[in-house]
Chain A
């Protein structure tokens, strides 16, 4: 224990000695873009383009009433029969005719045995095609969007912001989730480690599918 306390004091001491003659640091200029002025339509289009760029399959629907059918169809196309869902995924979205596993702290091996996972998300960044999960409504814990090989993610149009700074701000202010585990997803996993030829899908879901609901969110909990 005393060695530990010694280390901290010594390091702090070294830092203070090192900086004794340091000049004052100047104010931080933030002249970069922090807000975007695009319309929602433009943001949807941009996000859809970015997502297709990294070969995520994107579907657009006009109302959350279509979600259940859309999810069913997506799973059918993929021959997915066993899907894990977070406990708070709304009933009216849940696909029928499939085996649904509600995640209540399932062991990792069970999560490995499913064909896919369906969740909502927190925020989406149009410029970079990034989906952000913060463990909020209908997202579940991180393991369920990590282990299954197929992730279908539901995005509401008014969750899409233009720029990264807007997302960072919203996580801190509107969502107040910065103390929670957060994941930024911008495509299925990829590696260019073998002769620099890009191979998609190493760990993490190798297929990412996105359903964008163009009507604004009606539920306050999302």
Chain B
């Protein structure tokens, strides 16, 4: 019996994970990295006796934002425009890319510099720029590494976590034209610095994402560690910022909540090295032309789901990734989506449509560790279970022979009918005991067929005891 196949073209999570679980370098790097960051995060969170109050405020603010999103977007548009910026609205990735192509095209450049932005990854902006002969230079060290290697990022915060220093040295020697280079991280960082510095001075156009955008004042901000964000948002004449519509916060004052929640949750620091805020354009300081692109690309679809919309509260800290036992072992690529880990498992199926990522809601043991650390209290397990229901309903709606013969559906229906009736249930228990027979030896079952073979491939199973609890109970009286 074939496994249920989904309609998306990407490899389902369980198959992708099977491959990445074998990558011992990834396992080691990721295991060390996530354990490290977990400990750092815990230390700086334990310092805060008002941490829970901050989380609750963060949750409530984001809930308020989603509730009045249209009003806040209009307010943001007005305040940015008042401050001399241009606001554009993009319904989807293609439209956003067209807008950026237009802006860049009007400035006649062949290179632009970029700060890391998951939103621009999501819309595949670099490819769109390449189509019009413009190269987007990634300026985050990890993103630069990934770009030079021609790969995809595997972690929100530390995208090159799957690469070791020797690989990076070889890469730099090959692509940056540096011959004499050690593999000491310090030397590698320096090589990148020299290469990028020239780019920073030469670039006319910079592209960024935004961590937050204040509706009331029009202030946008970028939270970072390396300083390339400052470079890209300060030095060029033109700045283009692509911002998901959910990134809004209502007032300037609300920064006091998120600037405490984000650094401690993401890098485990009291505060990250650099945060840059700007409002429209300012005479004599920084870019004199600013474009803010408000991106939908599926976010309004997420918004329409009563349970799922909390996924839009995400502030992209990656704390959930760092604490997830599944992500720690399978790695980011296994999720085959821009957003990996627990947040990816609930966001991607909603952004793209459940039939595009039906395996992601199941890529979790529902342990709840993510919910515990989420700075804005997104109940990820609740959304996962809800989306699993969507997957099943979607499959059932498609109907057809494949659905009717689906092993899991049959098993679930069968079990439901057994549980509906105590005598049927007890008959099934007796059958299970009998079925034991061929499989059980010395109280353990070592091999099961079909759907359940995944269990016995690596674990023994206790044999069904001869007397059930209810049999014993009855025998007492």
A, B in one complex: yes
Interface residues of A (CB under 8 A from B): 3-4, 7-8, 10-12, 14-19, 21-22, 24-34, 50, 54, 105, 108-109, 112, 125, 127-130, 135, 141-143, 146, 164-165, 168-169, 171-172, 178-197, 199, 201-204
| Contact pick for B226, options A15, A169, A203, CB 8 Å | A203
- Chain B residues near A34: list those with CB within 8 A: 256
Interchain CB contact under 8 A, B286 and A194: no
A-contacting 9-mer, from B4-12, B53-61, B125-133: B53-61
Nearest CB in chain B: distance from A132 CB, A? 9
Least CB distance from B252 to A in Å reads: 5
A180 to chain B, nearest CB (A): 6
Tell me the interface secondary structure of chain B in the complex.
Answer: helix
Q: List 9 A-B contacts (CB under 8 A).
A: A3-B95, A4-B88, A29-B53, A31-B57, A33-B50, A112-B197, A125-B271, A135-B282, A199-B185
* A188 & B70 in contact (Cβ 8 Å cutoff): no
Bound complex: CA of A8 vs CA of B348, how far in Å?
23
CB distance from B13 to the nearest CB of A (A): 25
Q: How far is the CA of A4 from the CA of B73 in the complex (A)?
A: 15
CA distance A191 to B196 in the complex (A): 15
Q: Which residues of A contact B73 (CB under 8 A)?
A: 11-12, 15
Given contacts A128-B271, A178-B219, A186-B270, contact A32 B257 (CB under 8 A): yes
Other contacts beyond A19-B66, A196-B29, A199-B189: 20, CB < 8 A? A11-B91, A11-B294, A14-B304, A15-B245, A19-B67, A29-B53, A32-B54, A33-B49, A146-B235, A169-B256, A178-B217, A178-B219, A179-B219, A183-B275, A184-B274, A186-B272, A188-B273, A190-B226, A193-B145, A196-B32
Q: Are B256 and A164 in contact (CB under 8 A)?
A: yes
Interface segment among B159-167, B370-378, B466-474: the answer is B159-167
A87, B243: Cα distance in complex, Å: 35
Give bound CA distance, A195 to B228, whole Å. Answer: 19
Contact between chains at A181 and B95 (CB < 8 Å): no
Residues of chain A contacted by B145 (CB below 8 angstroms): 193
A188–B185 Cα distance when bound, in Å, is 17
User: CA separation between A19 and B303, bound complex, in Å?
Assistant: 7
CA A204 to CA B73, docked complex, whole Å: 33
- Bound Cα distance from A137 to B217, whole angstroms: 22
Residues of B within 8 A of A11 (CB): 73, 89, 91, 245, 294, 296, 300
A146 contact set on B, CB distance < 8 A: 227, 230-231, 234-235
Asked if B107 is an interface residue, CB under 8 A from chain A, the answer is: no
By a CB distance below 8 angstroms, the chain A residues around B279 are: 178-181
Query: A160 to B74, alpha carbons, bound, how many Å?
Result: 36
Q: Are B161 and A196 in contact (CB under 8 A)?
A: yes
Task: Report the bound CA distance from A199 to B284 in whole Å.
Answer: 33
Q: Is the Cβ of A29 less than 8 Å from the Cβ of B60?
A: yes
- The 8 Å CB contact of B277, one of A19, A143, A183, is A183
**A to B contact number (C-beta, < 8 Å):** 248
The answer, among A3, A14, A141, A168, for a CB contact under 8 Å with B255, is: A168
Partner of A32, one of B50, B66, B161: B50
Nearest neighbor of B88 in chain A, beta-carbon distance: A4
Compute how far the CA of A183 lies from the CA of B272 in the bound complex, rounded to whole angstroms: 12
The prevalent SS among residues of A at the interface is loop
Q: Taking each of B185, B282, B284, which has the highest tally of chain A beta carbons within 10 Å of its own beta carbon? A: B185
Assembled-state Cα–Cα distance A14/B302 (Å): 11
Q: How far is the CA of A146 from the CA of B28 in the complex (A)?
A: 36
The CA-CA distance from A54 to B267 in the complex, in Å, is: 14
- The answer to whether A195 touches B271, judged by C-beta atoms less than 8 angstroms apart, is no
Which of B160, B164, B200, B226 is the most central at the interface, judged by chain A CB atoms within 10 Å of its CB? B226
Residues of B within 8 A of A112 (CB): 197, 201
Which of chain B's residues have a CB closer than 8 A to the CB of A12? 70, 73-74
Give A19 to B294 CA distance when docked, in angstroms. 19
**B389–chain A nearest beta-carbon distance, Å:** 18
| Contact status B50-A16, CB under 8 Å | no
With both chains docked as a complex, state the minimum distance between the C-beta of A147 and any C-beta of chain B, in angstroms: 8
CA distance A185 to B142 in the complex (A): 21
Cα separation A127 to B29 with both chains bound (whole Å): 32
Q: In the complex where A29-B56, A32-B53, A194-B165 touch, is A181 in contact with B304 (Cβ < 8 A)?
A: no
Instruction: Kindly state the separation between the CA atoms of A202 and B139 in the bound complex, as whole angstroms.
Output: 11
Q: Mark B259-294, 1 if CB is under 8 A from A, else 0.
A: 110010001011111111111101011100000001
List, in ascending order, chain B residues with CB within 8 A of A183's CB: 230, 274-277
- A108–B204 Cα gap in the complex (Å)? 12
| Given known contacts A189-B273, A193-B140, A193-B158, A204 and B230 CB-to-CB distance under 8 angstroms | yes
CB-contact partner of A22 in B67, B95, B193, under 8 A: B67
- The answer to whether A15 and B33 touch (CB under 8 A), given A32-B50, A183-B277, is no
